[in-house]
Structure 1
Amino acid sequence: MSRYLAIALALFAVTLAACNTIAGAGEDISKGGNAITNEAEKVK
């Protein structure tokens, strides 16, 4: 599971670095959180 978390965090960091506005950052953070939640649900 830690491997999935590391990948998700890396993708999150790249996405966050690529956004240009505060609104875009909020959307990116939300999508990153959803991806992490989905992976956690799969592992259960």
Structure 2
Amino acid sequence: MTIRQKAVVHFAKQWYGSLELGVYGYCNTESGELKYFETDCLEVF
């Protein structure tokens, strides 16, 4: 994981309490930006 990815995971854990809750995840978009999805995706950090 990159520092940026770790930061996203840390944020998600703080926000949801656990990455296991729900089916929310962050993915890399084609533009390289982080985008929020209300569904599981292949590149969840």
Q: TM-score, normalised by structure 2?
A: 0.44
Q: Which has the higher contact order (CA 8 A, sep 6+)?
A: 1
Which of the pair is proportionally richer in strand?
A: 2
- Higher Cα Rg, which structure: 1
